[in-house]
């Protein structure tokens, strides 16, 4: 058994989250156990309770951390000065790379089962990611680059297409390289339709 180590305030929470993400990646969410994470961290089995009231609270914290990373990824890829097609292509490519690197985490982020206590935090996290895409589309509408209509509906259509490609790729139906190469075509077809021109 690992030797018990003292933790400064905040370190144990980070250690538990890092261990939980490793377990999520290798064994899935069902294998997560606060007791096992405590053992790996070298602390008493009760110590995680100071940071997470139960396993669901830990899953919520993992999902929120995932949304933070996704928001940072999308923000870094976004260039508001670009026309919509290259701008959306860059965002789509960043999203796909995130999905390929964090498939299990993304699945957890989109799971419907989150602790009701975390509802506001989840809504805010979703707004920083999906909401950012909606604002990109609203900007494009304002510039006349895309059709008028409910931006939320356009975001749903766009997001479903991008996430569908990510899911197919994560599931092994499309090789990652081919998926990344096809992003430009996907965005072009989303923006221009499949009708011959």
Residue 197 belongs to a domain: no
User: Domain count of the chain?
Assistant: 2
Cα 104-109-115 angle, rounded to 5 deg: 125
Encode pLDDT of 65-77 as tens digits.
999 999 999 999 9
Between residues 41 and 138, the one the model is more confident about: 138
Cβ proximity of 53 and 88 under 8 Å = no
- What CATH number has the domain bearing residue 22? 1.10.10
Of 32, 38, 96, nearest to 63 by C-alpha is 32
Output the pTM of the full model: 0.84
Cβ proximity of 66 and 106 under 8 Å = yes
Q: Are residues 37 and 117 in the same domain?
A: no
Of 136, 122, 50, 28, nearest to 88 by C-alpha is 136
Encode pLDDT of 20-44 as tens digits.
899 999 998 888 888 888 888 888 8
Q: Which domain holds residue 35?
A: 1-52
Residues in the chain: 197
Of 100, 12, 120, 3, nearest to 60 by C-alpha is 120
Q: Are residues 34 and 120 in the same domain?
A: no
């Amino acid at each position: 058994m690992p030797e018990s180590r003292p933790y400064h305030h905040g370190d144990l929470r980070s250690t538990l989250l890092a261990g939980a993400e490793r377990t999520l990646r290798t064994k899935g969410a069902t294998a997560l156990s606060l007791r096992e994470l405590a053992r790996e961290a070298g602390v008493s089995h009760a110590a995680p309770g100071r940071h997470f009231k139960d396993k669901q609270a830990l899953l919520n914290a993992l999902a929120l951390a995932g949304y933070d990373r996704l928001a940072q990824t999308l923000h870094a890829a976004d260039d508001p000065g670009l026309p919509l097609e290259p701008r959306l292509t860059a965002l789509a490519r960043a999203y796909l790379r995130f999905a390929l690197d964090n498939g299990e985490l993304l699945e957890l982020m989109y799971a419907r089962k989150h602790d009701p206590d975390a509802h506001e935090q989840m809504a805010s996290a979703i707004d920083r990611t999906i909401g950012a895409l909606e604002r990109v589309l609203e900007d494009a509408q304002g510039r006349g680059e895309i059709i008028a209509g409910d931006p939320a509906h356009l975001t749903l259509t766009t997001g479903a297409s991008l996430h569908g490609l990510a899911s197919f790729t994560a599931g092994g139906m499309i090789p990652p390289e081919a998926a990344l190469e096809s992003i430009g075509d996907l965005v072009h077809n989303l923006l221009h339709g499949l009708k011959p021109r």
